[in-house]
Amino acid sequence: MGPGGAACSLALLLVNNNDRRDYDSTFWTSESTLGSGEHIGCGNNWAADAKNEVYYTQAIGDTIMIVARTTSGALLGKAVYSVLSAYQGMTLKELLTGSKTTFTSAKDTTKSSGSVKGAVSWQTGSHGSGCGTNTACTGDLFMDFTDALVANADSGFSSDTTRIRLTTTFANSPAQTSNGHWFGGIGGKHVQGSWGAVYESAPSYPYCSSYNGYGSANGNYAGNGVANNAFQANCFSTPGGVEHRVDFAIYVNAGDAVALIS
């Protein structure tokens, strides 16, 4: 079966700067399709956001896969997870709009591959103890780490407000120490004191200073109505932050699709 084959049950496609699907977007809660994602299959022609019926009609099954690509369609990585038996009969929408749930085991490293941090011009520097003093805490939560998936998180990163449609248990790792200025994942909003952000997607993002983001201002991220935007110039661009173009697709019932993604 070719790269456009029907074996890939694409649920969601999130393309940077193509309307911001942050936590409060109806993209997550509505039962309606968007775009032509059903025709993409396993292919890499990701021109715009998409939501297919499988998001709200099809059980996710025993395997879920998140794929990251550049704007040109080049594969950055694929993260494959085994779904815990208690959640295999649920739709992805039920999970991402329900209560906070860790619904997979740790990433299957035998089926996963690639990296964001290792494939783009990743920047490093002091981040002001957003996640302690260890720069190893930066990277993409799905492609660069192995932690289990968490749906509809309402806590994490030691922040005052954390709401994220899809993140990982790395946010609550006891090995991390955080002053709360930290967030990351897909479909989120964040507040810590007088600082905040809303975003469609973000890497593990400790601040200030911060050095790596996805997409661009307003297109993929923005302030959260509080005094200080976690992406504002003196926190991000002034210390040399880079806006990486990283688009994401989420596939359900993905067991057969893993080998077809390239």
Of 236, 66, 86, 89, nearest to 167 by C-alpha is 66
pLDDT at 2: 35
pLDDT at 4: 39
pLDDT tens track, the chain, 262 positions? 333 345 789 999 999 988 999 999 999 999 999 998 888 888 998 999 999 999 999 999 999 999 999 999 999 999 999 999 999 999 999 999 999 999 999 999 999 999 999 989 888 888 877 887 667 889 999 999 999 999 999 999 999 999 999 999 998 875 667 889 999 999 999 999 999 999 999 999 999 989 999 999 888 999 888 889 999 888 988 888 899 999 999 999 999 999 999 8
pLDDT at 69: 97
- Rounded CA separation 202/42 (Å): 23
- Residue for token pair 């893993």: 258
| Residue 49, helix vs strand vs coil | coil
- Rounded CA separation 157/178 (Å): 7
- Rounded CA separation 64/77 (Å): 14
pLDDT at 175: 60
- Rounded CA separation 209/222 (Å): 16
At position 15, the amino acid (one-letter code) is V
pLDDT at 128: 77
- Rounded CA separation 49/226 (Å): 28
pLDDT at 1: 34
pTM, two decimals, is 0.95
pLDDT at 139: 93
pLDDT at 133: 65
pLDDT at 170: 92
CA distances from 242 to 162, 238, 247 (A): 24, 10, 15
